[in-house]
Structure 1
Amino acid sequence: MTVTVRFAPSPTGRIHIGNARTALFNWLFAMNNKGRYIQRFDDTDVVRSTQEFADSILYDLHWLGIFPDVTEYQSRRSEIYEAAVERLKAARVLYACYETPEELDLRRKVRRTRGQPPVYGREALTLTPEQVAEYESDGRRPHWRFLLPNFTSDPLQPERTEVHWNDLVRGEETVDLASLSDPVLLREDGTYLYTLPSVVDDIEMGVTHVIRGDDHVTNTGVQIALFQALGAEPPVFGHHNLLTTVSGEGLSKRTGALSIESLRGDGIEPMAVASLAVLVGTSENVTAAHDLGELAGHFDPAATSKSAAKFDPDELFVLNRALMHHMPFEEARDRLIVLGISGDRAEPFWLAVRGNLDRLSDAVAWWRILSDGPQEAAEFSGEDRDFLHQAFDLLPEEPWNGTVWKDWTGKIREATGRKGKPLFMPLRLALTGRSSGPELADLLPLMGREGTLARRP
């Protein structure tokens, strides 16, 4: 059996870090099990779903390093769902209901006042042919509910019926079908709700493992019953904890909260996003993995906590800096060229500045300083200005090598008696215009003697 997983978002907005968590859990699980990854778009909501959003989701996933084995769209598979509907109707487990939303809401309120759970009471099963004909003549169109197998002989007398499964993440789980309403699978207008196409596709596509957020735990009991009603063996389920903001709020595609697009625009590296999305809320230490293969080695669904994980964007910058500080030039080269950083100095420049970068794009400012001098002239006291005049008079002649900074500051120390911060800070400000940054021992050979003298106050 080939392990087969799927990531099935609705293309109704840009995906956020929480959606990426689900996609990455599936991708890494497939990677660790030499399996297949299906990208499926649950786009049966024809009003809100768009190809533009589907394309943007694929782009975001590719940026993260996820490349599906196959991409499917539910909107192109309606004939398969129609066939499943007919099978369920023939088995008498899909039945027509004519209640309006207002009538259903009133019934729920009545049940609550009686101390009963606000589930659907299956009143539609008691309709006579005459009543159905009257509804039809009034222009009502039915929605269709799946009859949950939570009774012995009389569906109007539901009884506790437990569905059990061994969850990949949460361990043993149980859902009582008697606590749930029969789910609507088909709307009045003939469109499908999430449940039916999802189950039918999982069967047709040979999905062996369904890994998703724990907001679907209750749905799983219903879906297992539907798999069985369609004569299929349910897949293995795993429900990971959800990500929230630091304040505990849920993430939403509609608001664009922490979207992959916005994180990419902020200059965050894909592996910083992937590492935090996967490892936060697990027993693993949150560290920056270099690639998805390395991250897969730290991935274990069972190591995920059952409680929600708070996602702090500030942690992304910590991971981003770690990736910057160790990124080899070969990995950065093409991106640096796009930023205008190229030539013989590009590699030693990158090795000199990467330890001071939060984002790769931050290298541009240092390249300008290296090439053109400080962007803003520093202010010096009269004493420091005299010191700098004397220091620049001591600048060694070329050729320069890696020891020029040490040689120069040694001469300055001997001539002026300055050492430590009083010696180094005025030099740093004069050379770079900044009070901190890359090692001047690495930058000075790249500036050259002429470029260094040009910075003399």
Structure 2
Amino acid sequence: MTTTRFAPSPTGFIHIGNLRTALMNFLIARKAGGEFILRIDDTDPERSKEEYVDGIKQDLEWLGLHWNRVERQSERLDQYAAAADKLRDIGRFYEAFETPTELDLKRKKQLNMSKPPVYDRAALALSEAEREAMRAERGNGVWRFKLDHERIEWNDGILGDISIDAASVSDPVLIRGDGQVLYTIASVVDDTEMGVTNVVRGSDHVTNTATQIQIMKALGATPPAFAHHSLLTGPQGEALSKRLGTLALRDLREQGIQPMALLSMMARLGSSDPIELRMEMAELIDGFELSHFGAAPTKFDVADVFPMTGHYLQALPLAKVADQITALGVPDDLAEAFWTVTRDNITTLKDLDGWWTLFRDGAEPDIDDEDKEFVAQAMALLPEGPLDTTTWKSWTGAVKDATGRKGRGLFMPLRKALTGQSHGPDMSGVMPLLQVIKAR
């Protein structure tokens, strides 16, 4: 069975970069009829917070990315300890005691000698007595996985054939001196024991994937199929990392972005498939092809999501937005007309409030000096009685006969006088909604 996972750290809220990873893994699982696991990477007790766990779940639920089960790494520490013991037993795990300053000096020296800045494995030469002396002096050391210096190869689902020389990579630290288990080994153990078959993540994890493949094989496991999507940039190709804080999903939700608009974009962005609005998740699932994505950095402009949100809303029937319209105070007998008139003139549902305020309270008239006499004459001709969808045509016809004006010179001043705007919905639909004029 196809099994994928999304493994966020609860140290902050999900942003647009995280969404790309979550969505791809979700679509792969759903297209294959498999499982999608939400795995909370909470092995760092100081930085992990329950409010972020709750926030992650809320964001995924808002998007419709429903998981089959939740796993928490903080509840699996015994499994990680068992894996560490196995690595020690087979001679692939060793303790190292260098301070960050010492490691930095080593890297600089290697770079000055035009050598790759990798850990020199000095700790392997320590005797047991020397290790005990180092522990007494510095406390417990970090635990590093001893890489086999050979080429690590796999066929990446997006990048194609990958080959990395393990000798060019430092032996990864899997457990810190304070005992905290790091992501690299926790993920290996989880992916193996949870039966994860496919892993999609950012291209900044390629080297990490290489080391994890070796760790998995050392533990006697078969690595899943890996794929690494391109990283997002800003619209001008600039690094997006500095802006991710402003691209949190909860912020986009607050701005009125609709989930299917965002998902429609993110499910195709960076692929050879055109970005097209989809109204249902099933359409995204059926059309998703991981192999269509490329390796080049992918430009993302949040401004592009707003027009898609507008198009999505325009296609919705009243029933889908009835609660929001009722909350504005729109009478039930006007709800259908209100939605019909406004939906082509909004970008998000937040825009509805402005339209109802205009219809309910009236607008500040926008009348040019040269039109004041004309507007006054026209308003005197506005018929009494209930306004309906025929009122605009009959009224402007009467004004035309009385004043001789026609075309833009007739319609624009009247629109601006009634709505305060030069553009907007068809006035035939607007007239029955103008509560102030109806109450004359």
Tell me the alpha carbon deviations over residues 424-444 of structure 1, each in whole angstroms, 9 at most, x when there is no partner.
111111221211111111111
Q: 1:423 aligns with which of 410, 413, 425?
A: 410
What is the TM-score when the length of structure 1 is the normalising length? 0.91
Does residue 1:408 correspond to 2:395, yes or no?
yes
Distance 1:338-1:35 versus aligned 2 partners, 3 A rule: farther
Q: Which moved more, 1:358-367 or 1:243-252?
A: 243-252
Aligned to 2:30: 31
Does residue 1:287 correspond to 2:273, yes or no?
no
Aligned length: 440
Matched residues in 1 for 2:410 and 2:53: separation?
58
Matched residues in 2 for 1:41 and 1:415: separation?
73
Matched residues in 1 for 2:382 and 2:202: separation?
63
Whether contact under 8 Å (1:41, 1:73) holds in the other structure is yes
Aligned to 1:162: 151
| Percentage of pairs with the same residue | 45
The Cα shift of 1:249 comes to 4.2
What is the TM-score when the length of structure 2 is the normalising length? 0.94
Matched residues in 2 for 1:91 and 1:317: separation?
55
The Cα shift of 1:356 comes to 0.6
Whether contact under 8 Å (1:352, 1:438) holds in the other structure is yes
Which letter does structure 2 place at the counterpart of 1:378? D
Q: 1:171 aligns with which of 160, 170, 176?
A: 160
The Cα shift of 1:69 comes to 0.9
Q: Secondary structure at the match of 2:267?
A: helix
Matched residues in 1 for 2:271 and 2:27: separation?
15
Aligned to 1:3: 2
Q: 2:288 aligns with which of 281, 292, 299?
A: 299
Q: Secondary structure at the match of 1:378?
A: coil
Aligned to 2:223: 234
Whether contact under 8 Å (2:365, 2:418) holds in the other structure is no
Distance 1:122-1:435 versus aligned 2 partners, 3 A rule: same
1:41-80 equivalence runs, <5 A: 41-80=40-79
The Cα shift of 1:415 comes to 2.7
Aligned to 1:155: none
The Cα shift of 1:399 comes to 6.2
Does residue 1:205 correspond to 2:191, yes or no?
no
Matched residues in 1 for 2:359 and 2:404: separation?
28
Structure 2 gaps, min length 5: none
Distance 1:250-1:298 versus aligned 2 partners, 3 A rule: farther
Q: Secondary structure at the match of 2:201?
A: strand
Q: Secondary structure at the match of 2:37?
A: strand
Whether contact under 8 Å (2:43, 2:182) holds in the other structure is yes
The Cα shift of 1:398 comes to 5.0
Q: Which moved more, 1:183-192 or 1:426-435?
A: 426-435
Q: Which moved more, 1:93-102 or 1:279-288?
A: 279-288
Q: 2:259 aligns with which of 231, 246, 270?
A: 270
Q: Secondary structure at the match of 1:305?
A: coil
Distance 1:389-1:140 versus aligned 2 partners, 3 A rule: closer
Aligned to 2:362: 373
Q: Secondary structure at the match of 1:366?
A: helix
Distance 1:377-1:398 versus aligned 2 partners, 3 A rule: closer
Distance 1:171-1:341 versus aligned 2 partners, 3 A rule: farther
Whether contact under 8 Å (1:392, 1:453) holds in the other structure is no
Structure 1 gaps, min length 5: 151-160
Matched residues in 1 for 2:286 and 2:418: separation?
44
Distance 1:253-1:336 versus aligned 2 partners, 3 A rule: farther
Whether contact under 8 Å (1:241, 1:309) holds in the other structure is yes
Matched residues in 2 for 1:264 and 1:133: separation?
55
Aligned to 1:156: none
Matched residues in 2 for 1:339 and 1:397: separation?
28
Which letter does structure 1 place at the counterpart of 2:15? H
Q: For the aligned residues, what is the CA RMSD? A: 2.0
The Cα shift of 1:401 comes to 4.8
Matched residues in 2 for 1:228 and 1:423: separation?
79
Which letter does structure 1 place at the counterpart of 2:86? R
Aligned to 2:99: 100
The Cα shift of 1:50 comes to 0.8
Q: Secondary structure at the match of 1:138?
A: helix
Matched residues in 1 for 2:78 and 2:304: separation?
47
The Cα shift of 1:397 comes to 5.6
Distance 1:34-1:109 versus aligned 2 partners, 3 A rule: same
Q: Which moved more, 1:298-307 or 1:216-225?
A: 298-307
The Cα shift of 1:211 comes to 0.8
The Cα shift of 1:396 comes to 4.4
Distance 1:312-1:139 versus aligned 2 partners, 3 A rule: closer
Matched residues in 1 for 2:48 and 2:399: separation?
68
The Cα shift of 1:278 comes to 2.6
Does residue 1:337 correspond to 2:326, yes or no?
yes
The Cα shift of 1:338 comes to 2.7
Matched residues in 1 for 2:346 and 2:62: separation?
21
1:97-246 equivalence runs, <5 A: 97-150=96-149, 161-246=150-235
The Cα shift of 1:139 comes to 4.1
Matched residues in 1 for 2:165 and 2:329: separation?
62
The Cα shift of 1:254 comes to 9.4
Whether contact under 8 Å (1:38, 1:71) holds in the other structure is yes
Matched residues in 1 for 2:350 and 2:373: separation?
36
Whether contact under 8 Å (1:403, 1:441) holds in the other structure is yes
